[in-house]
């Protein structure tokens, strides 16, 4: 909901519209370096433990320096390159869960002048997870056991398949009060979904 309506009563009724659309935006130059972010960026970063990605720290840095795994980087690179090449904006759904909530998000990639790109991320809806799930990205994949987690749909994989993080099948991998180690990737369903989308655009 982009606007909140406030009714303040003093000697008369006053109606004020405030734009409270919670959208993070960042702009990329033609080499995918971050040129700027909007002001909401910092609120979102702080709410999500993102002190390292506050506005002043990310400007001038390469976007892909913030994406640890090759599959997610390739997927995002494909989307951005496609938008830059076709000069047509593209919208993709994804998940960015917090420990207690499933967050259904949307990413809009919008072409700008001179090969620049604007990326908008907004929350479409949220759902409570059946149980809290804390994740930590594994630093050394040989050092400790971990699950794979899809950076697009946020499902986790225990080698038998991909499951919602609160699915009973994967509950044995979670201990209350302790994070479960994960390595991010993109699941085959999300990869296929992107391929289908791109081929439909080409047709
Ligand atoms: Zn996925």
Any residues with CB less than 8 A from the CB of 77 and at least 6 apart, and which? 32, 64
Tokens (6 digits) for 81: 């390159």
Render pLDDT for 155-201 as a digit per residue (tens, 0 to 9). 999 889 999 999 999 999 999 999 999 999 999 999 999 999 888 87
User: How far apart are the CA of 62 and the centre of ligand 1, in A?
Assistant: 24
Pairing assessment for the beta strands 135-137 and 34-37 based on DSSP bridges: unpaired
Per-residue pLDDT band at 108 (split at 50, 70, 90)? very high
Q: Which H/E stretch holds residue 23?
A: strand 23-28
User: How far apart are the CA of 85 and the centre of ligand 1, in A?
Assistant: 25
Render pLDDT for 54-74 as a digit per residue (tens, 0 to 9). 888 899 999 999 887 899 999
**DSSP code of 133?**
-
Task: Work out the average pLDDT over 123-138.
Answer: 93
Place of tokens 């209350």: 176
Per-residue pLDDT band at 1 (split at 50, 70, 90)? very low
**DSSP code of 178?**
B
- Please say whether the beta carbons of 144 and 118 come within 8 A: no
pLDDT (0 to 100) of residue 20: 55
Distance (Å, whole) CA 6 – CA 13: 10
Going along the chain from its start, the domains and CATH numbers come out as 22-202 (3.30.450.20)
- Please say whether the beta carbons of 143 and 183 come within 8 A: no
Select from 156, 155, 153, 154 the least CA-distant residue to 145: 156
Distance (Å, whole) CA 91 – CA 110: 9
Render pLDDT for 7-59 as a digit per residue (tens, 0 to 9). 445 555 544 444 456 899 999 999 999 999 998 888 877 776 666 778 888 99
Task: Work out the average pLDDT over 94-110.
Answer: 94
When the pLDDT of each residue in the chain is averaged and rounded to a whole number, the result is 87
User: How far apart are the CA of 118 and the centre of ligand 1, in A?
Assistant: 24
User: How far apart are the CA of 39 and the centre of ligand 1, in A?
Assistant: 30
Distance (Å, whole) CA 129 – CA 150: 17
Q: What's the predicted TM-score (pTM) here?
A: 0.83
User: In the chain, where does DSSP find H-type helix?
Assistant: 40-47, 55-58, 70-86, 188-202
User: How far apart are the CA of 75 and the centre of ligand 1, in A?
Assistant: 12
User: How far apart are the CA of 5 and the centre of ligand 1, in A?
Assistant: 37
């Amino acid at each position: 909901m982009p606007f909140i309506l406030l009714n303040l009563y003093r000697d008369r009724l006053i109606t004020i519209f405030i734009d409270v659309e919670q959208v993070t935006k960042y702009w990329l130059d033609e080499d995918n370096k971050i040129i700027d972010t909007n002001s909401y960026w910092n609120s979102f970063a702080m709410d999500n433990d993102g002190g390292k990605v506050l506005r002043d720290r990310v400007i001038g840095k390469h976007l892909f320096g913030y994406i640890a795994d090759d599959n997610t980087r390739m997927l995002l690179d494909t989307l951005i390159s496609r938008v830059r090449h076709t000069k047509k904006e593209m919208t993709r759904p994804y998940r960015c869960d917090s420990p207690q909530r499933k967050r259904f998000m949307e990413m809009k990639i919008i072409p700008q002048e001179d090969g620049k790109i604007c990326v908008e991320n907004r929350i479409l809806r949220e759902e409570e997870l059946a149980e809290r799930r804390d994740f930590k990205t594994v630093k050394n994949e040989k050092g400790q056991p971990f699950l794979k987690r899809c950076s697009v749909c946020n499902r986790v994989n225990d080698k038998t398949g991909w499951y919602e993080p609160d699915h009973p099948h994967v509950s044995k991998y979670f201990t209350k009060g302790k994070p479960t180690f994960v390595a991010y990737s993109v699941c085959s369903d999300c990869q296929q979904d992107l391929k289908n989308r791109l081929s439909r655009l080409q047709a």
